[in-house]
Structure 1
Amino acid sequence: MIKINVLTEEKLWTKKLKKKEEFFNKICKFFPKKFKFLKKKVFVTLLLSNNKNIKILNKKFRNKNKHTDILSFPFERKMKNSKEIYLGDIIISYEYMDKLNDLKKNFEENTAKIFIHGFLHLLGYDHIKDKDYKIMSQAENRIFKSISKILN
């Protein structure tokens, strides 16, 4: 079971996603079995942020002085109780999602896709090499396909 703890530091998120915690936890319920951690309690913290604050975090932790759509910070230490796992933190920028919304007209879909992307980073997926990009992209598409029926 995956539990997403949602924190919001950008008020504009509330205008687009009324029940944020419910939205992200519902997405996790539709993940394929491979990603559900059926016999464990898995926790993730999601911060719904903005360009200004994500730029600060990107500079501090990745030495990149620019804003980005999403940051993922896997938790690297194991918890004592193996039935409970803290995967890490995901931060999403509102402005990026809103900009995509203007282009593609679906804020929830875009937010779900980027959340899945960040979640996969917490699981160790990456896209630095072409081969890794293909593997991660296939996993993202498979998960998104399984949850697309709950969007809108």
Structure 2
Amino acid sequence: MSYFVDVQRDIENPDLPSDEDFLRWVSLALTGRKTAGEMCIRLVEPEESQQLNTDYRGKASPTNVLSFPFEGPADIPMDLLGDLAICAEIVAQEAKEQNKLPHHHWAHMVIHGTLHLIGFDHIDDVDAEQMETLEIALLASLNIPDPYQQGV
């Protein structure tokens, strides 16, 4: 398995996960689902997150993670998965509000976003249950509690 993650850090914050953490979480999400892949994780400020969320989802507020799957020509095989834009401030705020360890919430956001890049979604209840069940299992393999349980 060959995975490459380009982490773009325009934010100065020593509490952010390491590049190795990001690669470990992406690899976990992709193992058994993709044999190779390249992606970019961009850590953004709330203003950029809000602009992206407005432009691409029509929602005028910052959000935790946005996924932008790569859509290349169907007849040219590529291992490009796409990009994640993660708002560090929102992730930290949510972790605090939900009484979660920041590192655990980061792992969840990266795994969640990566699964979106490879086609998982949660628009309807059946898809949401499938995606959440997978996230819970992947996080449990890291000894991270179920992120969908309040106060965990």
Alignment of 1:124-135 (within 5 A): 124-135=119-130
- Give ranges in structure 2 of 5+ residues lacking alignment: 145-152
* Matching of residue 58 in structure 1 with residue 53 in structure 2: yes
Separation (CA, whole Å) in 2 of partners of 1:50 and 1:148: 29
Mapped contact 1:30–1:146 kept (Cα < 8 A) = no
Offset of residue 78 of structure 1: 4.5
**Letter of the structure 2 residue corresponding to residue 87 of structure 1:** L
After superposition, what is the alpha-carbon deviation per residue over 1:77-133, rounded to whole angstroms, capped at 9, x for unaligned?
148774x50000001111111113324251111000011000010011111101110
Q: CA separation of 1:136/1:105 partners in 2, compared to 1, >3 Å: closer, same or farther?
A: closer
TM-score (norm 2): 0.82
Aligned equivalent of 1:16: 15
**What percentage of residue pairs aligned between the two structures are identical?**
27
Q: Using a 3 Å threshold, how does the CA distance of structure 1 residues 26 and 59 change in structure 2: closer, same or farther?
A: same
SS at match of 1:34: coil
Structure 1: any 5+ residue segments left out of the alignment?
A: none
Asked if the contact 1:30/1:147 (under 8 Å) is kept, the reply is no
Q: Is the 8 A contact 1:31 1:147 kept in 2?
A: no
| Aligned alpha-carbon RMSD (Å) | 2.1
Counting only pairs closer than 5 Å after superposition, residues 44-55 of structure 1 correspond to structure 2 as 44-55=39-50
Between the two proteins, the alignment pairs up a number of residues equal to 142
Q: Which has the higher helix share?
A: 1
List structure 1 segments (4+ residues) > 6 angstroms apart after TM superposition.
none
